[in-house]
Each structure stands twice: as C-alpha cells, then as structure tokens.
Structure 1
Amino acid sequence: MTAISARSARRFAVVGAGLAGLACARTLAQAGHAVTVFEAEATVGGRMATRASPFGDFDVGAQYFTVRDARFAQALEATAADVTRRWSANAVRVLDPEGRVIEAALPAREPHWVAMPTMRALPERWAAPLLASGQLLLGTRVTALQPDALGTARWQLHTEGAAGATHVHAGFDAVMLALPAWQARTLLSLSEQTKPLSALLAGVEVAPCWTLAVAFPNAMQPGLQTLGPQWNAARSTHHRAAWLARESSKPGRSGIERWTIQASAAWSQEHAQDDAERVIAKLLKAFAEVTGIRATPAWVEAVLWRQAQTIKPLGRSHVWDAGRQLGLCGDWCLGHRVEDAFLSGLELALQLA
C-alpha cells in the first residue's frame, strides 16, 4: 500500500475492536492515517471470545475459521502464521437427533483453522500494534456520536469508561462503526444527523446462540479412555444442539477433555429469557443424547450471545456515507463467518485509504 502525505492524512475513529474493526483500523493506519479504536470491553475480539476455567480455556464464540479469499490468506500468512494452525476436526459430521451420522449430508471438505492458544489470539495479534501505540482504548464505550462542537464537518464521540468516567473525543474526520448490527443501529438512532443510516440496518436479522462449555478432567485418569465418540466436531439436527466440538482436540490446547455445545438458532431464540441453570440442564441432556457422554461434568458454564448467527445479512460488504463521513462494517454485512468480518472491515478501509 502506498504511503500518503501528511497533508492528506486524515483522523479516523473506529468503534469496536472485533475482527472487522481491527481489519479496518490496521488498514487505515498502514496507509498513514491517524486512527483511534474504541472498545467497550476489556479485551478485543468480539465473538472470537474465550472463557477460562480451572481445566482449560474454551472458545465460546467462533469455533474455527475457513479461508476462501486470497486477501485473508495473505494477511494470515504475513502477520499470524505462528498463531494459527489447521485443525483436523476429524471430518466434521452431520448427525441426526439420535446421534447417528448422516453420511449423505457430509459437507464439502475445506480446511478448518484455529488460532492458538485460543481463538482470541488472532484479534490480539492484530490489535497489538494499535495498543502499543496508544491507538486502542479498551474499556471505553461510545455512548453518543455528534457533530464536532468546533466544526460540524467533523465528529466527536462521547464515551464512558471505568467507574462511569465520561469523556469527549473530538476532531475526527470520519467514524467507522464496527459493531453488531443492533448496537450500530441503536447508536445511530440517538442523533438526528445519523438516524437515516440506522434505517439501512432494519432488514438485517441476527439470531442469538446459547453456548455451553463443559469439562471432564476425570477422563485424564490412567486406564480411562477418552469419553464419548471418536469424532471431534459435529453439526447436529438435534432441536437443541446444532454444533458440538471437543475443545481439547484443537491445536495448542490443554489435553483435558472439554466440549463446547452451541444451541440452534431457533432454540436459542425460544429460550433467550431462560436463566442459565435451566439452559445448562437442557443442553446437557442434548449433549448426552448426541455424544453418549452421560458423565457429570466437573465444570460447566452457559453463555448467551444475543447476536450470534446472521440469518439475513445486509447484502454488501460495508456501508460508506460520503456525505456524513460515516461507515459501517461487520460480519453481518456478508454473513457470520470470521472471514466475512475481516473482508467487511478491509473493504471499508480500502474505500477510504
């Protein structure tokens, strides 16, 4: 990418440090622009999330990623080859409600990749230069987006940080919202100047997902064979459990037997208001029915992602409103794959860089 002159460099705000936001921010920064990234959480990565347990970590968000676009492949090879590995998922299988393999429904084979030691390692790698240079503000939630008080051609962001501390960050030439669709829509709806962009997201549909993490440390005892089936990952037509993965089979992970179960979109929607205890009981039953593992786990946790799987995407890689100098990106623009998030952020940045 050709470097730009100091005179043509611009100041950008990127709201959200998931993969889309990081892809957008790093591309703009590499082009010579001044970039500030605002992230409400204490960590980066969005749904490339990790939960720690006494028995090892769990990828409770994105389970793996595939690589279909040459630009994504190039970025991984150039910057993250040492923290990504191919995961031999033991031929991802499709199961019927009784746990029987439906051979005719096996999907087309393509490599499955994971980051090490957890999926969050990839966004952490891409965030590191931004964090080191002070361009990434963690634990900083953007509460309002308004024209700059000193010049309406620019933007100012109102933020809230630790212990409710508030701050106004001003002087941005343009703002990129790399947020889940519902969060972007909510933020845009707060201001008369940005409401029209909010309407663009009305047709985007994203389903929730209950995720269950379970650990069986006793399976490591001498003489006790690995619990359950011989496969390490499966798509299931069970009405509750849509995806199951043996976390301990992924490269760079602890060998303690651990599984992640993701509920179906329909079941998650129906039970989005349930408490975690009830969800745990129901998903443990589904887990036992699909895998045959009926042992009581030593550790279990349920996580609800209220926006997880895109049912109806925007239908284009990003949104750029040149008149308002506002952009939108996220996996929901194209789908729900990890690569979709990367491409959305990249293509928004390339339009401006």
Structure 2
Amino acid sequence: MSVVVVGAGLAGVACAREVADAGIPVRVLDRGRAPGGRMASRCHDGRPIDTGAAYFTVRDPEFAEVVADWRTAGLARPWTSELAVLDHGERLRAPGPMRWAAPRGLCSLVAALAEGLPLELGHEVKRVTSGPTVDGEPADVVVLAMPDPQALRVLDPGLGAVALASGRPWRPVLAVAAEYAERTWAELPAAFVNDHPVLSLIADDGARRGDDAPVLVAHTVSDVARRFDEQPEEAVPLVVEAVGELLGITARPVWTHAHRWRFASPEQDRDVPFHLGADGIGLAGDGWGSSRIETAWRSGSLLGREVVRRLG
C-alpha cells in the first residue's frame, strides 16, 4: 500500500500524519522550500513574520489536543480574545473566541506536526491521472491538499474530482509586511477594516509574536490584489499609506515585503470536510468548510482516517 499527499500545508501534513501513524507508507510532496502552505512565515533578520493567516481559533476538541501539545512545546500561545474594527474613522470592539498565535511563526506548527514524515520539498507535481498515478508513478491513494484552482492544474481532465474542484471563485489577497523604526501606534492586536478601498485587516506582528517588534502586516481587499497581481511590490506604497491613515502613523517603514496569495479563501463554504473518490483521489484543505486553520487540520485529519479505513 502507498499514499501520496501533494501539498505540505497543514491539511496535507495532518492527513499524512494519520496515515503514517497507522503504519501505511506515505510520501508528502511540495514544490516549496518548507512545509506550511498558507501558514507560511517570512523571515527578516532571523525573525519570522506571518504573511498568511493572522491567527487561529480552537473549537474542535481533537484540535484542542494538538494545540495543547504545541503550547507545551512553546510553539503556540493564547493571544487575544478581542480584536478591533476600524469603521469609517471609528474604532469599535470585536469580542470573540480566543485567538492563538505562534511565537516562532505559524509555519513552526506545521513543521512540528510534520516531524518524522517523509517530506519531499522542492518537488513540483505535474499531473495526477487515473490509477491513480502521480507523474506516472502509481499509488493506492493520492491526496491533493491545496486550493481548488491549484488542484485543477494537476488533475487530469477526465477525473471525477475535477467537477468538485471546478466553478467556485476564490478571493485573492496581498499581504504587506512593514517594519518601522519604533512603535508609534496605539495598542492594536489586530483589526478588521470595514468598507475600505484598500485594506481588509491589519495585524500587529510584534503583539502576536510577543516580542513587541514594530512590525505590522496588512491584508488588502480582493480588488487591490487583482489589480497588482503581476507586480505585488507596486501595491506597497498604497498599502503603507492606507495603514498610516488608519493608525495615525506618519513615519515611513524601514523595510517592506509584499506576498501574493492568489487563492486566499473561497467565496463559498462547503458543508463536507473532504472528498475521497472511488478512484482513490482525495481533496482536502481549508476550502472544505469555513476557511480557517482549524478547518484545514480537521479536513486533512478526517481524510487521513478515511484513507486508513479504506486501505484497511
């Protein structure tokens, strides 16, 4: 028996973890240089900056056990139960569940879960066909743990999974990290930005990391991400200006970085946590449910258990 998981984000790693722990051989392939997917962290001067997800929440009891292990290892910490809402010049409160952060970057959580798994990084998969096969190599099960549009790039058009992955729009986002010489803004864990032409969210990376570094990460609205899709760095002045206006920052940042997420989140949720066809091809990720880190873990874990059950 053999299982191939394409995608080393949280969903793919969680799936592979279930399969490997059941004693079934599994390979995890990813074109990137490190596991993490959209929980990736950008390092600057040795300090990680989360440019993907801003935080995560914990609702599922089983996910809570995983988070408890991360917390014990010093990888995750409770951050804040209240975010701000910036709405037409007003600052409102947005109480809610505890938001968790990762002192070493969200990518460290995926790396911890992947420990001991056979990761093949820098491995770009070209085609998944019936059999199933991955670039001509057969497997009993192939899992694509990635956004639908990325899965469609590698799935053979005749496969049943193509219909499931087709026709659902995804929102793009540009994430701009900016480091300043000093902290001059009022205390701000993170803020949702309502009805703004440029921004949808601002996160204080120093606050969530716990080191008070003067670093902010801003996420754009989809229209801005589409406009600067080919040249993300050209959006930086626009984003920096918008952040300055909202937070009263007059200084220019000393360092900036723009990261493009073409498929940040789907426009519609799904009501099933994963897909595993009779042809042995599975789909998982945070697009299988509401778009959250917890959703990605649950999707991958449940698919992994179904793979184990099917292979016996």
User: TM over 0.5: same fold?
Assistant: yes
Matched, 1:126 2:113: yes
Q: Tell me the residue number matched to 2:184.
A: 227
Tell me which of 314, 323, 333 is aligned to 2:270: 314
Per-residue Cα deviation, 1:307-340 (whole angstroms, up to 9, x for no partner): 1022113331111102x11111010111211001
Say whether residues 1:178 and 2:127 are aligned partners. Answer: no
One-letter code aligned to 1:16:
G
Match of 2:193 among 232, 236, 244: 236
* Residue 198 of structure 1 pairs with residue 162 of structure 2: yes
Structure 1 contact 80–122 (Cα < 8 Å) conserved? no
Determine the C-alpha separation between the residues in 1 that align with 2:132 and 2:276.
15
Distance 2:289 2:107 in 1: 21
TM-score by length of 2: 0.92
CA distance in structure 1 between the partners assigned to 2:2 and 2:125 by the alignment = 17
Structure with greater Cα Rg = 1
Deviation string, structure 1 residues 204-223 (Cα, Å, up to 9, x no partner): 2220001111001x31xxxx
Is 1:34–2:25 an aligned residue pair? yes
What residue number does 2:172 align with? Answer: 208
**Where in structure 2 are there 5+ consecutive unaligned residues?**
none
Aligned match for 1:285, one of 241, 253, 269: 241
Distance 1:117 1:273, change over 3 A: closer
Q: Matches of 2:154 and 2:138 in 1, distance apart?
A: 19
Does residue 248 (structure 1) correspond to residue 206 (structure 2)? The answer is yes
Q: 1:1-353 counterparts in 2 under 5 A?
A: 10-54=1-45, 56-78=47-69, 81-82=72-73, 83-88=75-80, 91-98=82-89, 100-102=90-92, 106-130=93-117, 135-147=118-130, 154-158=131-135, 170-188=137-155, 190-192=156-158, 194=159, 196-216=160-180, 218-219=181-182, 226-237=183-194, 238-253=196-211, 255-269=212-226, 271-273=227-229, 275-322=231-278, 324-353=279-308
Distance in 2 separating the partners of 1:215 and 1:95: 21
- 8 Å contact kept, 2:83–2:95: no
What is the deviation of 1:55? 7.7
CA distance in 2, matches of 1:277, 1:79: 34
CA distance in 1, matches of 2:147, 2:88: 32
1:123 & 1:88 partners in 2: Cα distance?
A: 21
- Mapped partners of 1:306, 1:88: distance in 2: 28
Equivalent pair of 1:209/1:308 in contact (CA under 8 Å): yes
Please tell me whether the aligned partners of residues 52 and 58 of structure 1 are also in contact (alpha carbons under 8 angstroms): yes
The count of residues paired between Structure 1 and Structure 2 equals 306
Equivalent-residue separation in structure 2 for 1:268 and 1:29 (angstroms): 38
Maintained 8 Å contact 2:11/2:299: yes
Q: TM-score, normalised on structure 1?
A: 0.82
Shift in CA distance, 137/80, structure 1 to aligned 2, threshold 3 Å: farther
